[in-house]
Structure 1
Amino acid sequence: MSDLPRLTIKLCAPRGFCAGVDRAIQIVELALERYGPPVYVRHEIVHNRFVVDSLKAKGAVFVEELSEIPETDAPVVFSAHGVPKAVPSEAASRNMFYLDATCPLVSKVHKEAQLHHKRGREVVLIGHAGHPEVVGTMGQLPEGTISLIETVDDVARFEPRDAGNLAWVSQTTLSVDDTHAIVEALTARFPEIVSPHKDDICYATTNRQEAVKAVAPDVDAMIVVGAPNSSNSQRLREVAERVGCPVSVLIQRASDLDWSDFDGVRSLGITAGASAPETLVEEIIAVFAERYAVTVETVRTAEETIAFNVPRELRTEAAE
């Protein structure tokens, strides 16, 4: 019998890669297979250092702006977060061969914003300033026709040109509960504001938050595997904290663990943000198994079967 203390690990399901992240990584990998390195990628393809480093090792070259890319016939991939309209325009003006890895659910928000603008509405975007998805969505419309709202307090300060001619859209990776509060404030102040036909927060963000809500109240500590610049991962940590988990930490790798956070822990919840690969979850379970007699349980709150096609250029080549 083991002398190690017992630890029950509750794995949230769903966790980790979503369909949009899976598609984006596939696009880079297929481009590398088909065209060979280098394949240039504008911004981190997804917000995960492990994923980015593994693609770098295969020949992907990451840049923040197209201006960093020399004159080349090599493919250029736009990240899953989406880009402002100016980026494909610049790529076209330089005759670049580009592949758009924007998540289809982000593209849906872009189309909604464009449609509202076309119909003469001022657009409100609920999101976090500076996040690449927000930069991309705001960059779909002329300056001054879309306004960013980050908090309920922002709603009170917002002064639209025409309060009777507004519509809202949102970043796809927000806290479901926080966004609901902002939408309530918007509709209370602007009763005629037009809402999306279907919630803009993506299915994966919602499902991962619901799984955390099911696990976090029943464990001594919660680990969210993800990057500090990953919006959906940060929201998972906040959700765990909000539902009463005493310790809620966001880490990228097992090597980031601060063992003092887990003194006396007998039950542990683990989830992973939508851009964190499962191998990082397995790595963390393995290091706990060196210190504890571990029992692993999976707590599933939803099934996910969604998959997105890669761009036609890569499908055609793959078929050949």
Structure 2
Amino acid sequence: MDQIPQPPRSDKPRLHVLLAGPRGFCAGVDRAIKIVEEALRRYGAPVYVRHEIVHNRFVVQSLERQGAIFVEELDEVPDDAPVVFSAHGVPKSVPAEASRRKLFYLDATCPLVSKVHREAEQHFTRGRHILLIGHAGHPEVVGTMGQLPDGMVTLIEDEEQARTAPVPTDRPLAFITQTTLSVDDTSGIVAALKARFPQIHAPAKEDICYATTNRQAAVKAIAPRAALMVVVGAPNSSNSLRLVEVAERAGCPRALMVQRGRELDPAMAEGLGTIGITAGASAPEVLVEEVLARLRERFELEIEEVVVAEETVTFKLPAALQAAT
């Protein structure tokens, strides 16, 4: 009887890889990228985009190759060119300026960020002063604060500010949150606010988005089993930075971020036995594959996917582009 040929034995050491699920693109990021791609298909290049459409250089450079031009402000956009607003949301002054100039614009703001904008407006119309839990300077925070007149929102970045920040005493209070925060950090800040202001109005449903929550939960499930956590993401991506922090707090001895596979030194995993890998919500799966390919240069990988949730959320494109498809 003929012997069944066996695959050649590898002399590489084995490495157990715990792959987080979910990881990578969320529905809001996927929608924002499709808006730029569909605008390019329908209107031709160039299509201008105000700020990075999502916080990932690989994605931005891919869209640039297709004809997208990224700018910081609208004064860099010609009068006859379409412009897309990023997934993080923009202050009301931005679409107002676009309308004044009669620019054709498409708003790629994540619908979950738009929900927070609507919450802010509703609190404002009811005479409440708003406390926004978030990180100063982040585009989403700038956009959310820019939904209301100056002075109507107080930014709260940590528990200390929740306990001590000066707030108006002549009107009721409400709080809202940036969608990409650490679930655990936010709960501490909320507890401090509620202890200080027992009558404060809370969101009907938590503002932190499902994708942020799910990706953090997957990291928490992996962290105690892994000697190293690799987060594929960008240093200006809030949700990616939070994954590094969550991994360390959940028991992983070391966590680091890489933007591309080539940034990872496989020798870092030497002798570790088990590592974890995840990706922020703006990082495409191809970048996770790059990291795995980099590790395979040195190790024989045994991959185990650790899935804590199945995501089925999708968001429609703006009406102007739905008609085009």
TM-score where L is the length of structure 2: 0.96
Q: CA deviation at 1:164?
A: 6.1
Distance 1:246 1:160 in 2: 39
- The one of 204, 211, 214 equivalent to 1:207 is 214
- The one of 31, 36, 51 equivalent to 1:43 is 51
Amino acid at match of 1:168: F
Amino acid at match of 2:94: V
Match of 1:27 in 2: 35
Q: Contact 2:32 / 2:110 at 8 angstroms: preserved in 1?
A: yes
Distance 1:30 1:188 in 2: 48
Deviation digits for residues 80-129 of structure 1 (CA, Å, limit 9, x no counterpart): 00000000000001100000000000000000001000100000000000
Deviation digits for residues 274-318 of structure 1 (CA, Å, limit 9, x no counterpart): 000000001110111110011111000001000000000000111
Q: Contact 1:247 / 1:261 at 8 angstroms: preserved in 2?
A: no
Match of 1:103 in 2: 110
Distance 1:48 1:282 in 2: 16
- The one of 112, 131, 140 equivalent to 2:147 is 140
Distance 2:308 2:255 in 1: 20
Q: Which has the larger radius of gyration?
A: 2
- What stretches of structure 1 of length at least 5 have no aligned partner? none
Amino acid at match of 1:186: L
Q: Secondary structure at the match of 2:297?
A: helix
Q: Contact 1:164 / 1:192 at 8 angstroms: preserved in 2?
A: no
Matched, 1:53 2:39: no
Distance 1:19 1:78 in 2: 16
Residue identity (%): 63
Matched, 1:68 2:68: no
Q: Secondary structure at the match of 2:54?
A: coil
Distance 1:112 1:142 in 2: 15
Q: Contact 2:262 / 2:294 at 8 angstroms: preserved in 1?
A: no
Match of 2:187 in 1: 180
Provide runs of 4+ in structure 1 moved above 4 Å. Answer: none
Matched, 1:191 2:172: no
Match of 2:19 in 1: 11
Matched, 1:84 2:111: no
Match of 2:308 in 1: 301
Within a 5 Å distance, the mapping from 1:275-286 to structure 2 comes to: 275-286=282-293
Matched, 1:218 2:225: yes
Deviation digits for residues 145-174 of structure 1 (CA, Å, limit 9, x no counterpart): 100000000012212212761000000000
Distance 1:256 1:82 in 2: 30
Within a 5 Å distance, the mapping from 1:88-167 to structure 2 comes to: 88-162=95-169, 165-167=172-174
TM-score where L is the length of structure 1: 0.97
Matched, 1:240 2:240: no
Distance 2:273 2:219 in 1: 18
Deviation digits for residues 204-234 of structure 1 (CA, Å, limit 9, x no counterpart): 0000000000001101110000000000000
Distance 2:242 2:107 in 1: 26
- What stretches of structure 2 of length at least 5 have no aligned partner? 1-8
Q: Contact 2:25 / 2:281 at 8 angstroms: preserved in 1?
A: yes
Computed over aligned residues only, the root mean square deviation of the Cα atoms, in angstroms, reads: 0.9
